[in-house]
Amino acid sequence: MTLSRMTHCAVRSLWGQSSLLALVLLTCVQAQTPLPQTAVPTLPPPSGLVTAQPIGDSIFPALGQAGLDVLKYDLDLTVDRPGASELRGTVVLTVTATKSLPVLSLDFLGPPVLDLRWNGLLVPYRHDGTAGKLIIGPPQPLLPGTRAEVAVSFAGQVGVRPDPDLPLNVGWQAVPAEGERVGANFTLSEPDGTRTFLPVNDHPSDPATFTTRITVPAGYTAAASGVQRLEKVAPNGNRTFVFEQAQPIPTYALAIHVNRFERVDSPAVPVGVGGTEVLRRDYFPAGIAADTRDAYASTEGVLQVLADWFGPFPFSAYGSAIVTPRVPALETATLSTMPVASSAVRVLVHETAHQWFGDRVTLADWSEVWLNEGLATYAELLWAQAQGETGSEIVQGWYARAGRNQTRPLVATTERQLFDTTAYIRGALALHAVRVTVDDAAFRAYLRGWVSEFQDRPVTTADLLTYTHSRLGARAEAALRLWVESPDLPPMPER
Ligand code: TRP
Ligand code: ZN
CA of 253 relative to ligand 2 center, distance in Å: 12
Ligand 1 atom at shortest distance from the alpha carbon of 193: 12
15 pLDDT exceeds 80?
A: no
pLDDT digits (tens, 9 = 90+) for 379-410: 999 999 999 999 999 999 999 999 999 999 99
76 C-beta closer than 6 A to ligand 1: no
Structure confidence at residue 50 (pLDDT): 59
279 pLDDT exceeds 70?
A: yes
CA 244 to chain centre: 15
Residues of 398-415 as b/e, b for ≥16 C-beta within 10 angstroms?
Answer: bbeebeeeebbbbbbeee
Best residue among 190, 327, 347 to mutate for probing ligand 1, ranked by most atoms within 8 Å of CB: 190
pLDDT digits (tens, 9 = 90+) for 438-491: 999 999 999 999 999 999 999 999 999 999 999 999 999 999 999 999 999 999
359 C-beta closer than 6 A to ligand 1: no
Mean pLDDT taken over the chain:
91
Structure confidence at residue 248 (pLDDT): 98
pTM of the model: 0.91
Structure confidence at residue 166 (pLDDT): 87
Structure confidence at residue 432 (pLDDT): 98
28 pLDDT exceeds 50?
A: no
37 pLDDT exceeds 70?
A: no
69 pLDDT exceeds 50?
A: yes
- Nearest CA owner, ligand 1 atom 1: 330
25 pLDDT exceeds 70?
A: no
Ligand nearest to the CA of 371: 2
| Superfamily of domain covering 3-353 | tricorn interacting facor f3 domain (2.60.40.1730)
Q: Where are the domains of the chain?
A: 3-353, 369-485
pLDDT band at 32 (very low <50, low <70, confident <90, very high): very low
35 pLDDT exceeds 70?
A: no
118 pLDDT exceeds 50?
A: yes
322 pLDDT exceeds 70?
A: yes
- Nearest CA owner, ligand 1 atom 5: 330
192 C-beta closer than 6 A to ligand 1: no
190 C-beta closer than 6 A to ligand 1: yes
pLDDT digits (tens, 9 = 90+) for 408-424: 999 999 999 999 999 99
Ligand nearest to the CA of 374: 2
Note residues around ion ligand 2 (Cβ under 5 angstroms).
Answer: 373, 376
Ligand 1 atom at shortest distance from the alpha carbon of 358: 1
- Nearest CA owner, ligand 1 atom 12: 190
Return the CATH number of 369-485, one of 3.30.230.10, 3.40.190.10, 1.10.390.10, 3.40.50.261: 1.10.390.10
CA of 353 relative to ligand 2 center, distance in Å: 8
- If you average pLDDT over residues 154-180, what whole number do you get? 95
Ligand 1 atom at shortest distance from the alpha carbon of 419: 7
CA 300 to chain centre: 24
170 C-beta closer than 6 A to ligand 1: yes
Structure confidence at residue 144 (pLDDT): 98
- If you average pLDDT over residues 235-247, what whole number do you get? 98
Structure confidence at residue 9 (pLDDT): 33
329 C-beta closer than 6 A to ligand 1: yes
- If you average pLDDT over residues 118-136, what whole number do you get? 95
Backbone angles phi, psi at 308, to 5 degrees: -60, -40
What CA–CA distance (Å, rounded) separates 467 from 444?
14
Please report, rounded to a whole number, the percentage of residues in the chain having pLDDT higher than 70: 90
CA of 413 relative to ligand 2 center, distance in Å: 18
CA of 330 relative to ligand 1 center, distance in Å: 5
- Nearest CA owner, ligand 1 atom 7: 190
- Nearest CA owner, ligand 1 atom 10: 190
328 C-beta closer than 6 A to ligand 1: yes
CA of 49 relative to ligand 2 center, distance in Å: 40
Structure confidence at residue 48 (pLDDT): 38
pLDDT band at 130 (very low <50, low <70, confident <90, very high): confident
- If you average pLDDT over residues 420-441, what whole number do you get? 98
